[in-house]
Each structure stands twice: as structure tokens, then as C-alpha cells.
Chains A and B, each alone.
Chain A
Amino acid sequence: MKKLSKQSRTSFFTYGGVILAYVLLQLYNGQVGLSSMIQGLLVPICAYVTMALALNLVVGVSGELSLGHAGFMSVGAFSGTAAAIALQGVIPLAPLRLAVAMVIGALFAALAGFLIGIPVLRLNGDYLAIVTLAFGEIIKSVLNNLYVGFDTTGFHFSFLADTVSPRMAEGGKLIIGGPMGISGIPIISTFTAGVVLVLVALVVIFNLVNSRAGRAIMAARDNRIAAESVGINVTKYKMIAFVISAALAGAAGSLYTMSLSTIVANKFDFNTSILILVFVVLGGMGNMWGAILSATFLTLLPELLRKFNLDQYRMLVYAVVLILVMIATNNPFLQRVAGNAAARFKRKKPAPAVEGGQSHE
């Protein structure tokens, strides 16, 4: 343990936590049985966790506020799902088809991220936030007007109006139907696949952050001028973070959509982007395990409130609890209490002293 750096320790702690949670849940499900509600939520939670990790790479590590990440999620969702439906006859094995779909979703989202990144990453601060917001809405509008069909001769595309259906050969299927989105999606996402995706996202992010490129990204975040003065190509490194983040978001989108049987582009609107940003902010910017915990907690919270006869006030209570949590985590008094408790806990253990205070990787 002593030889491991602080970063490695954090990353192993996070991998371990995710795997432990997975094993415990599987054991519990085997022995006692989880309720249908929780079982149904497992895959969306994995998707949201991956989204939070992806956005954390941009917001926390790269230091740029992106308000359009749901857009990349939708690009991945639509392309990945369309691929999964088209490949149904080619790859009969569902987990393999899911993996291929997620890779395709990630590639398309990365492409979208790259194209959007070219103009966007020349900006910084508030301007960047507003432009990403606009691009998120543009992606939504484009997908709302996109028609994709698939038949024996391959894919057919049309835009604005459905000219696909008449052109298709016998047995063809309209996959993406503009504002109707995709219907009748085969449900092939599994909790295991979700956990694997979360682990992949963690490996990618931790290895990036602890690499030369990662240090360059953080240098550009902390002081752009200083970073440029030592020869770091700021736009290039920001682009690396942005594209990787978009790819992860795309894979998460594919996973998410294939756990539901239907999807529309309007699902991935501004509100979803903000929701994911809330996960990141609550978990602590740049803090990966914090993002995992907050995404899980905030996805579960409104659903668990159903159990307490709060049906009608559920969303209101959710909002108030959110405010409460935000205040509590920023409350100096409570932070001091937590800090003291942590210090006392550490003193009892003769283990190697850990630096106090907030970690910031």
C-alpha cells in the first residue's frame, strides 16, 4: 500500500467500491431478491453514473462548463440503438450486440463531440457554456427531424419528412421515425453490462487524468496562460478531454435506451444536461467516486420517496432535499464536524497518515 501513490489509491478504492457494490447487489438479489422497482432502476443508474463520470471529465478535470452533454448521450443512444436493431439478424448473441452497439454509439458521439469541439473549444468560461447549450438543443432538433429506415439493401435516410418508408424494400423497417423516436427497442441492456461500462469509464478517466495528457489538461484548467507559455497546446488537450467525454456519454446513451423499449429525442433536453451537471456538482468537481455516489443517490431518491406516501409532493420534496444537500455539503459548520470526525478516525488507526482536507484530483 505504501508504495502506491495517492492517485492510484483513489482509483483502486473506486474500482473496488463499484465491484463490491455489484457483487453485494447480485448476492442480495440471489438470496433475498430485489424489488422490481430497484431492479428496473439498476441499468438507468449505471447509465447516469457513466454520464456523470463523462461530464466530470469536462467540468471537473478540464474545467469547462458543458451544458449540452445530453446531446452526446442522444447521439449515442440513437446511433447505437439503430445499429442494435439493424444487427439483430447478424449477431444473435445479445451481450455482444449490446457491446457493438455501445461502441458504435460511442464512435458517433465522439465524432459529434469532435465536430462541435472545433468551434466550441476556442471559447472559454460562460461563452463555452452557452454554446454547448445551443449545440445540445441543435442535436435534439436534428434528431427530431431525422428518419432512418433499414431493409435488405441497407440504411435509408431522410430529413424533415418521412420519404424513407415508400423507398424501402419488402420487410424494411423504419427505425428512427422523427419525433416518434425509436419504438420497439429490444431490451438487451443488463446490470452487468452497465457495471462493465462504469468500470471502463473509470479506467479510461483515471488513466487519462494520471497521464502526461491529463496533467496538461489540468494545467490548462488551472492557468491557461501559464500552460500556453510552457508550450502546451491548450485547445488540443481540451479537445482530447471533450471527445473522450462525448464518447463515454454516447456509450451511456446506448446502454440507457436499450433498457427501455422506446425513446424520443426530447428526452435528452436541457433538463437532462442540467440533471447530470447536478450529479457532478453534488459529487464534487473532479471527484469520480463522489460523482458515482451522487448520481446513484439522486436517481434513487425521487423513486424511493414514492414509498413514503409522498406521491403528489415527490418532485417538490426532491427539489427541497437537493437544496438541503447542497447547503449541507457547503456548510462550514458541518464541514468542520465532518473534518473533525475524519481526523479522529484517522488518529485511531496507525495506518499511513493521509493528507487532511478535500482531495482534488
Chain B
Amino acid sequence: MKKFLALMLAMAMVFALAACGGDNAETPATDAPATDAPATDAPADDAPAADATGAFKLGGTGPLTGGAAIYGTAAANGAQIAVDEINALGGIQFELNYQDDTHDAEKAVTAYNTLKDWGMQISLGSVTSKPCEATAAKNFEDRIFALTPSASSTAVTEGKDNVFQMCFMDPNQGSASAQYIFDQNLASKVAVIWKNDDVYSKGIRDTFVAKAAELGLEVVSETTFADGNDTDFNVQLTEAKNAGAELVFLPMYYTPASLILSQANAMGYAPKWFGVDGMDGILTLEGFDTSLAEGVMLLTPFNADAQDEKTQAFVEKYQAQYGEIPNQFAADAYDCVYAYAQALEAANATPDMSAADLCDAMIAQFTTMTFDGLTGEGMTWGADGAVTKAPKGMVIQNGAYVGM
């Protein structure tokens, strides 16, 4: 009898969750400013035909659940805000569909295929690098244009003429950081602590070290960590300290970086710290003493505290809708949608065009146009899909990012 009860309880849970799921799926549709597009999210099983409602079907995959969910949800939210804003203007209309890929290549392909069945015409690729490599190959094969907000590895765009990036490529970040340190004469002896089982960290570290050697910056200490031993950094820090590093370069996400900062503080080691865009978010990390991050420098394309009107409006809207400060991923996705709007308008594209026709039009537009967004002014794209924009040097002062 007990087991039967357990069974009934479990069943009740499934239905309760199903009900929740249904509600939540509807919210964005009701939030969206009145468009002529009724919220028909029932995917058509037959061949995806161009939508009759006059909206471009924009799809993307990202980790909406799991360990990397913070990036996926931020991108999905940022894109949603942009879509709502553009739809409200009444010109070009978008219908956005973000599918969960749990930061896994296999799931990303399934999510991509789901979007294809739904009738996706243009794509936002995937949010994270490895899944995006898998979906980018599919984008190339199916001739669906992709502009990824944040998948930064080179393999994403390599050999694919219709996959573009809104963020810097990992290598660019590494060499830009080295260049910046050299130009500003921040240090001559540098230590690097990097995560050796992470694509992002390794990509940046490789080019940083290469560029540093070229410029004559001395890398005196290079230490690594990996998933599972990313909580104690005393060994790495002691080595950097003993080698006399004046600056420690941290190509990693903010969670390990926060531990490094507090452990260095505990052992009385105070070099200059230099991070990359993954460091963005350290100030909003729960339980982190932001005074430790004082003086940390980072290169990031987006800064939620920037004083320009565009950024402030976006941050305000994001906070009102989702209750948190947007990070760089949200801004990148927001820019992606606006870049699409600009390109579609310039190409006189209509929603009844096929994905392949749109793809050709978008390739022509993106390689020639200049775009101003939250994450940079005067962005241009090369034929290889890489973006050119100036990285902004930021330093943390009094618990806020300030431009350097």
C-alpha cells in the first residue's frame, strides 16, 4: 500500500510540474507586446514552411538547466528583451524560441533539430562553445545562418561561411590581454593560473602565452587546476609569489577566480590581478566579499555600470523583468537580435523567404555592415565570421566596474 501511495504521489508531482511548465511557457507570449503572431508553439510536423504570421523564426540553444545555466538563461533573457523591443516597433517581427542543451553537444544537436522542425529561419547558434561546434556543423549543412552570442572557440566558425560570432574569439582575448598589459606597462613578470580541462581557459591561455613571449613579457609561473580540484589554490599562489610575479592572469570563470582572490588575501599576497570576460559576474556572486576584488582588471566587451543611455535602459529593463543585473551573455544575445534586425532590414528580407535564401542575404550583409550595440561600437565581421570590436579595459573600484 505504501508503494502504491508513493506511486500516486510521484504521479501527482508529474502533473503538477506539467501544469507549471505550461504556465511558464505561456508567460513570454503574454508579456510580449501585442503582435499579430498568436502564440502557436505547436510545432508543425510537416515540412517547415515559412510562417504566415509575418515573423522571422529565430531559434537558439543554450544551457537553460544544469551547471552552465547562468549563461544560457542570461542569453535567452537578453534575446527576449531585444525581440520584445523590436516587435513593439512594428517593423520587423521576430518569434524567438530558445531550447535547452544542458551544455552538451548531443543535446544541442537534438535541440537544434527541434528548432528545425519548428521552422527556424535564422539561428542564434548555441551559447557555449562545445555545443555550438556541433550545432554550427548542422547550421552549415542545412544552410541556416547562425550568429552566436557567446560561443568563442575558433572551431565554431572554422570552415563555415554562414556561422558568425558576436563575442571575441578566445585567442583574441588572450592576445588582447597580453597586448593591453604590455601597452599599459602593468607588469613585466606575469603568472598564469588556468584550468586545463576547459576549452575556454586553455584557448585564452595559449594565445596569451604566445603573445607574451612575442612582446617580451616574462611568464614566470604557469600553474593549472581542473574540475574537482578547483577549491584550493594555495599551491598555485605560492608558486606565483615565489616566482616574483607582479601580475597574475586569470583566464577563467568567476567562481574559481573568487576563491583565488580570497585565498591570496589570506596568505598576504597582493599582486595585480587581470581577468577576462568570464570574470564578469564576480561582483554579484553571493557570499563574496567584493572588497577583495578591488583593483582587479579585466577585459570585457560589456559593463552593466556603463553610463551610456543604451546600456542603462537595457540594465533597467532586465532588472525589472528578471530581477538581476545582466551579464555579458545577456548583452551579447541582445546585440545579436538587433544585428539581425539591422541586417534583415538592409537586405529587405521578408519572413516568407526560405532559410537558405536568408542565409545568403545574411552572409552578404554581415560581411559588409557596421553595427553599434551594447558590447561595442562600430563592430564589423570578417568573412571568417569573427567580429572586430575594441575590448574595454575595466577595473573594479569601490565595488563597481570603472573603465580604464
Chain A interface (Cβ < 8 Å from any Cβ of B)? 33, 35-37, 39-41, 44, 141, 144-145, 162, 178-181, 183-184, 187, 256, 260-267, 303, 306-317, 320-321, 323-324, 327-328, 330-333
Inter-chain CA distance A42–B261, complex, in Å, is 47
* Cβ-closest chain B residue relative to A44: B106
B7 pairs with A312, CB closer than 8 A = no
Contact of A309 with B22 in the complex, beta carbons under 8 Å? yes
Q: Is the CB of B196 within 8 A of A312?
A: no
Chain B residues near A266 (CB-CB < 8 A):
197, 227
B384 at the A/B interface (Cβ < 8 Å)?
no
Does B99 interact with chain A (Cβ within 8 Å)? yes
Across-interface contacts of A145 in B (CB, < 8 A) = 196
Contact B17 A307, beta carbon cutoff 8 Å = no
Residues in A whose Cβ lies below 8 Å from that of B199: 179-181, 264
Stretch at the interface among B129-137, B314-322, B338-346: B129-137
When the two chains form their complex, are residues B114 and A314 in contact, meaning their CB atoms are under 8 A apart? no
- Determine the distance from Cα of A320 to Cα of B6 in the docked complex, in whole angstroms: 11
12 other A-B residue contacts (CB within 8 Å) besides A37-B116, A316-B17, A323-B10 = A36-B117, A40-B112, A141-B226, A144-B226, A260-B105, A308-B21, A309-B21, A312-B65, A320-B13, A324-B14, A330-B3, A331-B7
Query: Which stretch, B78-86, B152-160, B352-360, B374-382, touches the partner chain A?
Result: B152-160
A266 and B66 alpha carbons, distance in the complex (Å): 15
- Compute how far the CA of A179 lies from the CA of B153 in the bound complex, rounded to whole angstroms: 12
12 contacts between A and B (CB under 8 A): A36-B113, A36-B114, A179-B199, A180-B153, A308-B18, A309-B21, A309-B26, A310-B17, A310-B18, A313-B21, A316-B17, A331-B3
Cβ–Cβ < 8 Å partners of B105 in chain A: 260-264, 267
User: What's the Cα separation between A181 and B155 when bound, in Å?
Assistant: 11
A317 to B227, CA, bound (A): 28
- Say which residue of A37, A314, A324 sits within 8 Å of B117 (CB atoms): A37
Instruction: Select from chain A the residue with minimum beta-carbon distance to B135.
Output: A261
Residue among B20, B130, B138, B206 making CB contact with A264, cutoff 8 Å: B130
Distance from A146 Cβ to chain B, minimum over Cβ atoms (Å): 12
A320–B14 contact, CB under 8 A? yes
Q: Are B133 and A262 in contact (CB under 8 A)?
A: yes
A184 interface neighbour in B7, B21, B159, B202, Cβ under 8 Å: B159
* Pairwise interchain contact A40-B18, C-beta atoms closer than 8 A: no
Closest B residue to A35 using CB positions: B117
Asked if B153 contacts A307 (CB within 8 A), the reply is no
In the docked arrangement, what's the CA distance between A331 and B3, Å? Answer: 7
Interfacial chain A residues near B130, Cβ < 8 Å: 181, 262, 264
Q: B21 contacts which chain A residues (CB < 8 A)?
A: 308-314, 317
Closest chain A residue, CB of each to CB of B137: A261
Interface residues on B, range: 35 or more
- Closest chain-A Cβ to B131's Cβ sits at a distance in Å of 8
Query: In the assembled complex, which residues on chain A have CB atoms less than 8 Å from the CB atom of B17?
Result: 310, 313, 316-317, 320
**Contact B117–A313 (Cβ < 8 Å):** no
Q: In the complex, A223 Cα to B277 Cα: how many Å?
A: 59
Whether the Cβ atoms of A179 and B196 lie closer than 8 Å is yes
Contact of B7 with A144 in the complex, beta carbons under 8 Å: no
Measured CA separation A312–B226 after assembly (Å): 29
A317 and B12 CA atoms in complex are apart in Å by 11
Q: Is A260 in contact with B158, judged by CB distance below 8 angstroms? A: no
B305 surroundings in chain A (CB, below 8 A): none
Please measure, in the bound complex, the distance between the C-alpha atom of A310 and the C-alpha atom of B41, giving whole angstroms: 12
Inter-chain contact total with CB atoms closer than 8 Å: 150
Please state if B197 and A260 are interface contacts (CB–CB under 8 Å).
no
Question: Which residues on A sit within 8 Å (CB–CB) of B37?
Answer: none
B148 CB to nearest A CB, Å = 14
Per the bound structure, the CA–CA distance linking A162 and B205 in Å amounts to: 12
B14-47 toward A: CB 8 Å interface, digit per residue (1/0)? 1001101110111000000000000001010111
For the complex formed, measure the closest distance between the CB of A182 and the CB atoms of chain B, giving whole angstroms. Answer: 10
B64 on interface, CB distance cutoff 8 Å: yes
Chain A CB within 8 A of B104 CB: yes
Nearest-CB residue, chain A, relative to B1: A333
Complex Cα distance, B205 from A202, in Å, reads: 46
Within the complex, what minimum Cβ distance (angstroms) separates A183 from chain B? 4
Q: Which one, A183, A311, A315, A327, contacts B25 given CB within 8 A?
A: A311
Q: How would residues 251 to 288 of chain B score, 1 for a CB under 8 Å from any chain A CB and 0 otherwise? A: 00000000000000000000000000000000000000
Inter-chain contact A307/B43, CB cutoff 8 Å: yes
Residues of B within 8 A of A316 (CB): 17
**How far does the alpha carbon of A260 sit from the alpha carbon of B109 in the complex, in Å?**
8
Query: For residue A312, which residues in chain B have a CB less than 8 angstroms away from its CB?
Result: 21, 24-25, 64-65, 100
List the 3 closest A-B pairs by CB distance, nearest first. A261-B137, A183-B155, A310-B21
Q: Say whether B186 faces chain A, with CB atoms less than 8 Å apart.
A: no
Chain B residues near A306 (CB, 8 Å)? 99-100, 111, 114
Contact of A35 among B26, B45, B153, B198 (CB under 8 A): B45
Q: Could you tell me if B114 and A37 are in contact, using CB atoms closer than 8 angstroms?
A: yes
Inter-chain contact B198/A179, CB cutoff 8 Å: yes
- Distance (whole angstroms) from the CB of B31 to the closest CB of chain A: 15
Beta-carbon contact of B110 and A40 below 8 Å: yes
Q: Closest residue of chain A to B47, judged by CB? A: A33
Chain B residues closer than 8 Å to A303, beta-carbon distance: 110, 114
Q: B11 contacts the other chain (Cβ, under 8 Å)?
A: yes
Contact A262 B102 (CB under 8 A): no
* Chain A residue at minimal CB-CB distance from B224: A160
Shortest Cβ gap from B61 to chain A (Å): 11
On whether the beta carbons of A187 and B137 are closer than 8 Å, the reply is yes
B134-171 vs A, CB cutoff 8 Å, 1 = contact: the mask equals: 10111000000000000001010011000000000000
Residues of B within 8 A of A317 (CB): 14, 17-18, 21
Whether B155 contacts A184 by the Cβ 8 Å rule is yes
Which one, A35, A262, A307, A330, contacts B155 given CB within 8 A? A262
Closest Cβ neighbor of A303 among chain B residues: B110
Pairwise interchain contact B196-A40, C-beta atoms closer than 8 A: no
The residues in B between 198 and 236 inclusive whose CB is less than 8 angstroms from any CB of A are 198-199, 202-203, 206, 226-227
The residue in chain A whose Cβ has the minimal distance to the Cβ of B20 is: A313
Distance, CA A62 to CA B138, complexed state (A): 41
**Least CB separation from A312: chain B residue:** B24
Contact A144 B134 (CB under 8 A): no
A311 near B134 (CB under 8 angstroms)? Answer: no
Q: Which of A183, A310, A332 has the most CB of B within 10 A?
A: A183
Beta-carbon contact of B197 and A179 below 8 Å: yes
Q: Select from chain B the residue with minimum beta-carbon distance to A317.
A: B17
A323 to B13, CA, bound (A): 11
Closest A residue to B200 by beta carbon equals: A179
